[in-house]
Amino acid sequence: MNKEKRQEIFERLRADNPHPTTELNYSNAFELLIAVILSAQATDVGVNKATDKLFPVANTPETIHALGVAGLSKYIRTIGLYNSKAKNVIATCKILIDQHNAEVPESREALEALPGVGRKTANVVLNTAFGHPTMAVDTHIFRVSNRTKIAPGKNVLEVEKRLVRLIPKEFLVDAHHWLILLGRYTCVARKPRCGACLIEDLCEFKQKTSD
């Protein structure tokens, strides 16, 4: 795919949704961090149902840590892997209190040192909370990047690096959200809704006629 086509793709995505953001509910960097940790192998809708009950009760490292694993588990038991996630969240809160003055650090290394936080979660927090031009490649972005040929790659890290290199810089901060939404609602896994896609004529995916 040439750069002119990429430019047009992201101009259309921006025109359609000028201020995209995550579908996770949060009001500060710490709430976002916790929501993203909880969202692994879970839906944003499911996480929001849990955090909508949790955050009014506890939404700081100190108050969530005070709940303990058992107390936190009561709020998040509807989310998959809730027991291990509760342990990670409590351990993360302790590190934030002890090492970061109860603040979410604005550095990849510090974020990835937190229990339950990998590269993708760190990228989401850096991008959404702090406005860094990072690219958190989930299953949706991986699929869209390869299917459209915006930035094909064999693995998540390869796609991430290509996207950061190839997407025009003016779109980088918001591109993560546009691509996730495109993959979640239009460029879906089994039968992409090409006829409803605003970049269909620019996409380099050749859909089989049997679809």
Query: CATH no. for residue 62?
Result: 1.10.340.30
* Residue 72 within a domain: yes
Determine if the pTM surpasses 0.95. no
The count of domains in the chain is 2
* Residue 59 within a domain: yes
Q: What is the CATH number of the domain that holds 147?
A: 1.10.1670.10
Q: In sequence order, what are the residues at sequence separation of 6 or more whose Cβ sits closer than 8 angstroms to the Cβ of residue 50?
A: 38, 75, 76, 78, 79
**162 & 186 share domain:** yes
Question: How far does the chain reach from its first CA to its final CA, in angstroms?
Answer: 24
* Residue 209 within a domain: no
Domain that holds residue 114: 29-128
pLDDT tens for the 211 residues of the chain, in order: 899 999 999 999 999 999 998 999 999 999 999 999 999 889 999 999 999 999 999 999 999 999 999 999 999 999 988 999 999 999 999 999 999 999 999 999 999 999 999 999 999 999 999 999 999 999 999 999 999 999 999 999 999 999 999 999 999 999 999 999 999 999 999 999 999 999 999 999 975 433 3
**124 & 144 share domain:** no
Q: From 104, 128, 152, give the residue that closes a domain.
A: 128
The alpha carbon of 98 is separated from its chain's Cα centroid by a whole number of angstroms, namely 27
The number of CA neighbours under 13 Å toward the Cβ of 59 is 16
| Catalytic residue annotation | 120, 138
Q: From 87, 109, 128, give the residue that closes a domain.
A: 128
**183 & 112 share domain:** no
